[in-house]
């Protein structure tokens, strides 16, 4: 191979490699765009309610006094839970009434 043939071969190899790099960059851009469309997690607030009668019965069964029962019946009138839901639909409680829950 003479010098001109070597230069031509190197030039063609360089062009081929540059095209491969360009194609790989396009693939990476497509994959990054797809990742942006997939939510890693969703946060949802849900509310739990209990009625005073059930709370009264539970408190009385636990041995609370009349004064304690008068306050306790409102303890769970409305509880806000913040859930983190993953892409499979599995939910974890991450906060109760806007207070973070430590996972143990």
- Other C-beta atoms lying within 10 Å of the C-beta of residue 91: 15
Q: Name the one residue in this structure whose structure tokens are 């946060």.
A: 43
Query: Which residue in 41, 43, 40, 74 sits closest to 56, CA to CA?
Result: 74
pLDDT bracket for residue 39 (50, 70, 90): low
> Taking residues 43-64, what's their average pLDDT?
93
| Position 9 confidence tier, pLDDT thresholds 50, 70, 90 | confident
The mean pLDDT value of the chain amounts to: 88
Within 13 A of 82's CA, how many CA atoms are on the CB side? 12
Beta-strand (E) ranges in the chain? 41-48, 79-86, 91-96, 99-100
Q: Give pTM, 2 decimals.
A: 0.52
Choice between 62 and 9, residue whose per-residue pLDDT is larger:
62
> What dihedral angle (degrees, nearest 10) is formed by the CA atoms of 93, 98, 103, 104?
-120
């Amino acid at each position: 191979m003479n010098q001109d043939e070597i230069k031509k071969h190197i030039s063609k190899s360089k062009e081929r490699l540059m095209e491969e790099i360009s194609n790989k960059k396009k693939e990476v851009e497509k994959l990054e765009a797809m990742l942006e469309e997939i939510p890693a997690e969703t946060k949802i607030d849900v509310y739990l309610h209990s009625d005073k009668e059930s709370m009264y019965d539970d408190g009385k069964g636990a041995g609370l006094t009349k004064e304690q029962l008068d306050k306790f019946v409102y303890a769970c009138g409305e509880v806000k839970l913040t859930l983190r839901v993953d892409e499979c639909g599995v939910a974890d409680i991450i906060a109760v009434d806007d207070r973070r829950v430590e996972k143990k």
